[in-house]
Structure formats: structure tokens, C-alpha cells
Chain A
Amino acid sequence: MLEEEGFQEVYNLQGGIKAWQGITVAGPPDMGIELAREMVSAEDIIRLAYGMEKSLGRFYREASEKTGDPEAAELLGKLAGIEEKHKQQLADLWGAVSGAETARASLETDGARGALEGGLSTGDYLERVTANNQGVKEVISVAMMFEAQAMDFYMRCSEEISQPDANHLLHNLAQQEKGHLAALGDLMDRKA
């Protein structure tokens, strides 16, 4: 029976999740998926991702202004800048996919929810980060959590959407978030 299944390459993670010791995420398997089910085109996915980056950028900007830690403020400002770049990358992608020349303006004024992704809320986390002058490592930790949740969300969405171009785009977005996560991890190591 097992040979018939035809799996080419299988690995068992020794020790399971307890051995992982890396960043993890939480939430039910269908968290935020109602958003994915509304996505019928690559433009829909880009619009959603743009809203997510917009929310995260806003979070970073507000946290930068409210934190009492200068180093955290500087870092948060940098992260906000990175999210601006992500938005532009998505706008460029939108232009390529849809042929629209005013992609950025269209995306900014769109009524996209911008909920911080996969069901997360910015309010509680903003308070957590800025209360009691949370330090740099706490800020990085929260940012890593958001990036990890975004990556997880894109991958769960890819399970819902079978259209090849859209599926490929979701994988690319997840890959980008993985890169952001790695960069934040490197930053965390330097701050340790």
C-alpha cells in the first residue's frame, strides 16, 4: 500500500515540533481563509497582500512614534520603510499582471480590509509593544510573529486556490515573508 502511494522523498522531523526551537505560529487552520475564498484572481491576491503590508507598515510607524526606546523607534522606522518597499513591489506586480499604470494609487484607495493578516489585530500588539517602553528585542519578536503569521497565511491560502498563476503568486509572497523573517532573525541575533 505504501509503495503504491509513490512519494519520492519523505523526511521525518526528529523530535517533532518540540525539537523545532524556531519561530512558530498559532491559530485555527481556517483563520483568515474567508479572505482567500474571495480571491478569484491574481489581482485579488495582490490587493489583499497590499492591504496586509499597508497595515503592518502603519503598525510599525505608530509603534515607532509611541515607543520610549530610541533604538526600538529607529528599528520600527526602518521596518516601516521596508513595508513601503513591499507595497511598491506589489504595485509593480499588479501593473505587470493587470496592465494598469496607476496601480499604486488604485491599491492605496482600495477599500481592502488591511486587517493584520490571517485574523490578527494590531491594537493589542501595539499596546504590548509600546507599554512600559518595551525594548528592541520585544519589538523584533513581535515583528517576527507578524511576518511568520503572514507567511503561514499565504501558504494556507495556497491550499485553497488551485489556479496556477494565483497559487504561484501566493508561494512567492510566502517566500518573501520567509526572507523578512530571516532578516529579522539575523537582527535579533545581533541584538542578543
Chain B
Amino acid sequence: MKIRSFFRPVRNMTADEARAFMTEHREGSYTLLDVRQEREYAKERIPGAKLIPLPQLSDRWDELDRQKPVIVY
């Protein structure tokens, strides 16, 4: 199942663009969302990322603030 099917609209962002975005925005003003499995998250993640594994996403929408930008990986 593609991540794009969970959100609309979805735009792509390069790593450099993501870094610039995160530098420009205060922590708490956006959500960095990790949709991998917990094992992968525990091994390595981008600092500050919230974990919601993809299979759980449709059941855990309410944990995300719909008004905040979301960067997903």
C-alpha cells in the first residue's frame, strides 16, 4: 500500500528540502512521521520523528494534528 494513498495532497520533498523545512520551522509546529516498523525505527531514525507503522496508520489518524504539516518517511 503506497503512503500516498493515506494523505491528500502529497508532495515530494528532497532530503535537502526537508532539512531546510525543519530548520525554518519550530519543533512542534510540524510532524515528522516515521511509518516504518518499530524495529527499523529503533535501529535508526531522524531525531524527533513520531512512529506510526503504516499498517496502523488508518487506526491512529487522531494522534496526528491535521492542521500541522506532515513530513512522512
Residues of A within 8 A of B (CB): 2-3, 5-17, 19-29, 148-149, 151-152, 154-156, 158-159, 167-168, 170-172, 174-175, 178, 181-182
Contact = CB atoms under 8 A, between A and B. Distances in A.
A11 B44 contact: no
Interface of B: 3-15, 18-19, 21-23, 26-29, 34, 36, 38, 41-51, 61, 63-64, 66-73
B63 to A, nearest CB: 8
Nearest to B57: A5
Given A5-B61, A11-B70, A26 B43 contact: yes
Given A29-B38, A155-B27, A17 B73 contact: yes
A171 B26 contact: yes
B14 A19 contact: yes
B45 A11 contact: no
B70 A9 contact: yes
Given A8-B66, A29-B41, A148 B8 contact: no
B72 A12 contact: yes
Nearest to B44: A24
Contacts, number: 138
Contacts of B38: 28-29
17 contacts: A3-B8, A5-B61, A10-B10, A10-B11, A10-B72, A11-B13, A11-B18, A12-B12, A13-B72, A15-B15, A17-B34, A17-B45, A151-B48, A155-B50, A171-B28, A175-B28, A178-B48
A11 B10 contact: yes
Given A5-B61, A22-B46, A10 B69 contact: yes
Contacts of A174: 27-28, 48
B46 to A, nearest CB: 6
Contacts of A27: 42
Contacts of B19: 22
Contacts of B72: 10-13
A28 B64 CA distance: 20
A29 B48 contact: no
Nearest to B72: A12
A148 B9 contact: no
A174 B47 CA distance: 10
Among A2, A13, A20, max chain B CB count under 10 A is at A13
Given A7-B7, A12-B72, A26 B45 contact: yes
A149 B42 CA distance: 12
The 9 closest A-B pairs by CB, nearest first: A171-B28, A13-B73, A10-B7, A155-B48, A174-B27, A11-B13, A9-B69, A152-B47, A175-B27
